[in-house]
Amino acid sequence: MVWRRRKYRVKRAKVPGTFYFSVLDNGVVSNEFWTIVDVSNDFSWDLFHYSGAARAAGQSYTGAVLVSPDGTYPNEMGKCEIKEWELFTVDNCSCQDPPLGISDGSSLH
């Protein structure tokens, strides 16, 4: 419940498909740069890359997120050529429902 209540600020960067994210996490601001790396023609999967830093905590990080509607590894990965051994599955089976809604009393604006 805590992470889904964070408020991310997103700004488009100058290059299409790039974005700046910032979020306040336990009193520390993290700034991230996200890039849309590749998307399948039928939108069955997308690949994002991010790099960020929480300067006050002396922490920096980088990573990638491969998404698909059902969480399965796509058959064809396009120009990115990600190997299956480079990925790990996020297991959300203990969650009752996906946290896609908006909490009561919250708004998008």
Domain with 75 in it:
3-86
Find the range with the poorest average confidence among 15-19, 66-70, 71-75, 78-82.
78-82
- Let me know if residue 101 belongs to a domain: no
List, for residues 34-64, the tens digit of each pLDDT value: 999 988 888 888 889 999 998 888 888 888 8
Residue 67 inside a domain? The answer is yes
CA–CA separation, 90 and 71 (whole Å): 9
CA 15 to CA 34: how far, in whole Å?
11
In a domain, 91, yes or no: no
Number of domains in the chain: 1
Instruction: Give a yes or no: residue 38 inside a domain.
Output: yes
pLDDT recorded at residue 38: 87
Decide if 108 is inside a domain. Answer: no
